[in-house]
Amino acid sequence: MSDPAGRKLQPLQLADGSAVRVRTTTYITSKKAKTGDKLALRVASDVKIGDLVIIPRGALATGHIASAQKNRRMGRPGTLVLEIDSVEAFTGKLDPLRAAASRRGQGYSGQIADTAVGMGLPTMGIGAIFAVPLLLFKGENAQIPAATTLLAYVDGDALFDEAELRPLQPPGAPATGLATFYVLRSQTQGDKTPAVYCGHVEIGTLKKRHFVEVRVPPGEYEVRSPRIKRNVRFTAEADHTYYIHFYPNSFLSGGFLELMDSIAADDLVAFSGWITDPQVDLTGADPAKLADVTPLPGPDAEK
């Protein structure tokens, strides 16, 4: 079979061990989970062969609780083991997958055992009176928050029909000729809310759980702040998206900016509670100011 351009279509192979990123949709805890419970998950990012999406972002994945144990006395923590079973590709269910994601609550058994020995518990001396409440103390339950990203792996080579996949592809975003970048701040610690600039043009203030979306023409840019020592310089290409993360440091440092991998950024913004600024459009800004990397005014001069 050939495509409209006359190119002969070949079977597509998703190789054994190909990663599938999935995301939990509910909060899971060893306090309530039971072995065998079914799980519904969602695919966190497209799985592709070349330019073709095989498993789309948002597709349903299924799994189950392979093992669940509540927290117990003597400080023993709860445990959870999740297994991911299958995922819905464009052309039908893909299984089996192989994966195991385990979580263990915080335990206190070592600390309690040391205390008990120090009090002479084996001989049931007077110290045992004080040790008994500690031995009754439970460890923490294991927890997996909603929107936690887990990795599954294709178990065995999977073949797909390119002719069947082509018509199912999601529509691409319309080309704009512009680049988009996001400046994110996930961490909530620290009181500093630095203003951030593209060149000498202020684009927003990095408050907690906050991100700014910026459109720029293709070109080379430096995202920076007078309060931040490590800035990000990158080349923005048309119709590409970039993610810059602000990491606040201790009170002795202003923190730093870092260019992020797009998949890692997608995982980060999956959690709720973000505050989004209106889109900042710099297509009409003075190119000389956007490209200006001379020192910014000091923090005291910020608005």
Give 126's pLDDT tier (boundaries 50, 70, 90).
Answer: very low
Q: What pLDDT score was predicted for residue 37?
A: 95
% the chain with pLDDT above 70: 74
Per-residue pLDDT at 105 exceeds 80: no
Q: What pLDDT score was predicted for residue 216?
A: 96
Per-residue pLDDT at 112 exceeds 50: no
Average pLDDT over residues 6-19: 78
By C-alpha distance, which of 282, 288, 278 is closest to 202?
Answer: 282
Average pLDDT over residues 80-102: 81
Residues 80, 66: Cα–Cα separation, whole Å: 8
For residue range 211-236, what is the model confidence (pLDDT) as tens digits?
A: 889 999 999 999 998 878 789 999 99
Give 239's pLDDT tier (boundaries 50, 70, 90).
Answer: very high
Q: What pLDDT score was predicted for residue 110?
A: 33
Q: What pLDDT score was predicted for residue 285?
A: 95
Lowest-confidence pick of 3-12, 26-35, 141-150: 3-12
> Which amino acid makes up residue 273?
G
Average pLDDT over residues 169-192: 82
Per-residue pLDDT at 128 exceeds 50: no
Q: What pLDDT score was predicted for residue 99?
A: 67
Choice between 88 and 100, residue whose per-residue pLDDT is larger: 88
Lowest-confidence pick of 5-19, 118-132, 235-249: 118-132
Q: What is the mean pLDDT of the chain?
A: 78
Contacts (Cβ under 8 Å, ≥6 apart) of 171 = none
Domain edges within the chain = 12-105+140-168, 179-301
User: What φ, ψ does residue 263 adopt, rounded to 5°?
Assistant: -70, -40
Q: According to CATH, what is the number of the domain 12-105+140-168?
A: 2.40.128.260
Average pLDDT over residues 113-142: 43
Average pLDDT over residues 121-125: 31
Residues 66, 204: Cα–Cα separation, whole Å: 46
Give 190's pLDDT tier (boundaries 50, 70, 90).
Answer: low
Q: What pLDDT score was predicted for residue 38?
A: 95
- Asked if 61 and 25 count as a contact pair (C-beta separation under 8 A), the reply is no
Tell me if the pTM is above 0.85.
no
Q: What pLDDT score was predicted for residue 218?
A: 96
Average pLDDT over residues 117-123: 30
What is the residue whose two structure tokens read 């009170």?
251
Average pLDDT over residues 153-164: 88
Cα–Cα distances in angstroms (integers) from residue 170 to residues 56, 162, 173, 192, 216, in the given order: 8, 14, 9, 41, 26
Average pLDDT over residues 255-266: 82
Residues 287, 199: Cα–Cα separation, whole Å: 9
Average pLDDT over residues 186-197: 76
Whether the upstream peptide bond of residue 226 has omega within 30° of 0, thus cis, is no
Per-residue pLDDT at 17 exceeds 80: yes
Lowest-confidence pick of 72-81, 166-175, 224-233: 72-81
What is the residue whose two structure tokens read 């999406």?
53
- Which fold does the domain 179-301 belong to in CATH? Immunoglobulin-like (2.60.40)
